[in-house]
Amino acid sequence: MAFQYPAARRDEEKVDDYHGVKISDPYAWLEDPDSEETKAFVEAQNQLTMPFLEKCTVRLQFHRRLTELYDYPKYSCPYKRGNRFFYFHNQGLQNQDVLYVQDSLDGAASVFFDPNTLSEDGTVALKMGRLSEECEYFAYGLSSSGSDWVTVRFLKADDLSPLPDVLERVKFSCLAWTHDAKGVFYNCYPPQDGKADGTETTSNLNQKLYYHVIGTSQSEDILVAEFLDHPKWHSGVTVSDDGRYAVLSITEGCEPVNRLWYCDLQQLPNGITGMLPWVKLVDNFEAQYSYVTNEGSVFTFRTNLQAPRYRLINIDLEKPDPAQWSTLLPEHPKDVLGIVACVNQRHLLVNYVHDVKDVLQLRELSTGELIRDLPLDVGTVAGLSCKKKHPDFFYKFTSFTTPGIIYHCDLSQASPEPRVFREVEVKGIQQEDYQTSQVFYSSKDGTKIPMFLVHARGIKKDGSHPVFLYGYGGFDHSIQPHYNSAYLLFVRHLGGILAVANIRGGGEYGQTWHKGGTLGNKQNCFDDFQCAAEYLIQEGYTTASRIAINGASNGGLLVAACVNQRPELFGCAVAEVGVMDMLKFHKFTIGHAWTTDYGCADKPEEFQWLFKYSPLHNLPPAPRDGPPYPAVLLLTADHDDRVVPLHTLKYAATLQHGVGRSPGQLQPLLVRVDTRSGHGAGKPTSKAIQEDADVFAFIAQVLGLGWRD
């Protein structure tokens, strides 16, 4: 059946000039989220999409079964503050995780903070929480409806009594207590015209760093750093393990590079009273420096300076000349140095990523020497909890088929051995029913790309299996094995194969891999993803008409660009909260920070890169005879202030106008706009389950998949 799509006004006179190239933007009016015309467009789209989704054959079964499988207890690693232990726990279907406290690891636990009491529908989320060093106070940041805006409040940790202090206009912020518990460092933005509730598109500029003293109003907060000549700079403070130094990291965009300033808080006779006297240890954006720990004036940093796979270096603040810096742990010849944390005063926990799988080691802080490898199955360290002054640590392991095993190790014991502290089992999931493998396939330029496959044991390579192919490929972000109940349902009840392609642009093999998929090399991401689909076809797993591709945010851009370039290669495409207008993304909210990965259309050469693949600008402008597009489902949300909804709305209008009116286009091209929801973080369990059920019901419907018990 062909679909009748809502009519959307085209403003043919809206034309922008990019370096002499005229680009029409007929749906620019959709950039105003508050106009009645935009609201009517969204309403009309949902009135087309929701009845289609509601009629999908497997939707109710998928939702019911997913609810059952989601209903297992979830735990974070415990962490110690003062003499008490804290951990997050979700009984199964609670909308938000609850923070618990206990006096000892085997003592009774009680609720410390429950975000579920803050809203009936679970849309108020705990975005950030920090206990002061000796557990006097709890600072916590709440966000509503998935927005990046945060309101910070405080309570006393002993009796849970609330304090009157409130911090507003907080976003992309640090939250760092000084060890005397007198106050916190945090970031906020100056007031802006109009609203700031997550539905606006205003650019976020001129972030400032403040120190808030407990018991005072925000209007009295002390400005400790600002960058008036650099409105796009962001900053964040880490207070050193010994409490003596404030270490300031300054970034501009999303590139893993930062300036590194510090302030010796002991040198402030009257405490923090004004702009801090920052010492500029590194005052350029040539490499990244992440604080690990310090022994007096000798600081250990994880860095990619002359080390695309990262290394550990020591810098003595009393000998700051780079010629005096020393290597504590050299760059590994192949593996990427990941998480590094100090424990038990003199040890380091060191994580390496080896072919997208995690390794965890215990090393000497003084020499970097290896003491031992820690037990870890094939998968991911999803959590690590330790402090320099405490002898014990926790780490959490996860994989595609393991929801979470938490290990505990106490280094004060004679022969310390990690033991299973908590292991979760999911009713109805038998690990032995699934097979996980990693393959390496060739991309267009010959580069070998790793890909994980999860499927039922003993499947035949007869080309019959539906595939859910997921990718991201950007911002140095690695996609490692992780547990997802909906993925396992797709494999178990829809007979599918999960394929996760670790394409370039991510951080799976360090900076070289990241830069291989950014700026002028962005096409490599799309080639890598398309070659993943071709590999799965060539190897006899599937056929093009049975491949569903999926990605979110930068991954939504990936999906849309690949559909434009190779529509015949896929049967279905689900693009969530995607960046679709590559010529204007930098003009909205925090989009300017992404120019480090994408480039910016304000520059002539970079405009040429972006224009070649921008999903919005590479759609057929009018009905055509070319190969039909696969079924498309686009997802966005009204409070997404990271990738604002206008990207998806403009793309949907253009897609339906051109492809949607083409005579051979029988598959649906739909958009689902959620309300009281954002980019993804803090999404309540009930909304997450409904969204997954809609996505996989759509895939099953358009690929013709039936439910298997």
Distance CA 399, CA 484 (A): 9
Give the residue among 180, 179, 151, 174 at the shortest CA–CA distance from 225: 174
Residue type, 550: N
The Cβ-side half-sphere exposure at 550, using a 13 Å CA radius, reads 16
Which residues, 6+ apart, have CB-to-CB distance to 673 below 8 Å? 42, 45, 46, 636, 637, 638, 645, 648, 649
Distance of CA 124 to the CA centre of its chain: 19
3-state secondary structure of 227: coil
Which structure tokens are listed for 39? 């609201």
Helix (H) or strand (E) holding 668: none
Order of strands across the sheet with 298-303? 289-295, 298-303, 311-316, 326-329
| Backbone phi, psi, residue 690, to 5° | -65, -40
Among candidate residues 145, 235, 553, 677, the one labeled active-site is 553
> If you ran DSSP here, which 8-state letter would residue 662 be given?
S
Task: Enumerate the β-bridge partners of residue 282.
Answer: 260
Among candidate residues 617, 674, 679, 694, the one labeled active-site is 679
Which structure tokens are listed for 674? 């959620």
What number of helices (H) and strands (E) belong to the chain? 10, 38
Helices 685-703, 36-54: axis angle to 10 degrees equals 70
Could you tell me if 600 and 575 are in contact, meaning their C-beta atoms sit under 8 angstroms apart? no
Distance CA 234, CA 232 (A): 7
Catalytic site residue 679?
Answer: yes
Give the residue among 405, 317, 316, 321 at the shortest CA–CA distance from 360: 405
Give the residue among 5, 6, 14 at the shortest CA–CA distance from 32: 14
Distance CA 502, CA 477 (A): 10
Which structure tokens are listed for 171? 């976003």
Which structure tokens are listed for 313? 């270096």
| Backbone phi, psi, residue 604, to 5° | -55, -50
Tokens 């419907």 locate to 701
* Cα dihedral sign, 632-633-637-643: negative
* Cα dihedral sign, 69-73-74-77: negative
Catalytic site residue 640?
Answer: yes
Q: How does strand 347-354 pair with strand 419-423?
A: unpaired
Distance CA 540, CA 415 (A): 50
Among candidate residues 148, 640, 641, 694, the one labeled active-site is 640
Burial 435-471 (b: 16+ CB within 10 A, else e): bbeebebebeeebebbbbbbbeeeeeeeeebbbbbbb
DSSP symbols for 552-567: ETHHHHHHHHHHHH-G
The Cβ-side half-sphere exposure at 579, using a 13 Å CA radius, reads 26
> Residue 658, by phi and psi: left (phi above 0), alpha (psi -120 to 50) or beta?
alpha
Give the residue among 552, 549, 619, 632 at the shortest CA–CA distance from 581: 619
Residue type, 338: G
Catalytic site residue 476?
Answer: no
Could you tell me if 644 and 577 are in contact, meaning their C-beta atoms sit under 8 angstroms apart? no
Q: Give me the active site residues, please.
A: 553, 640, 679
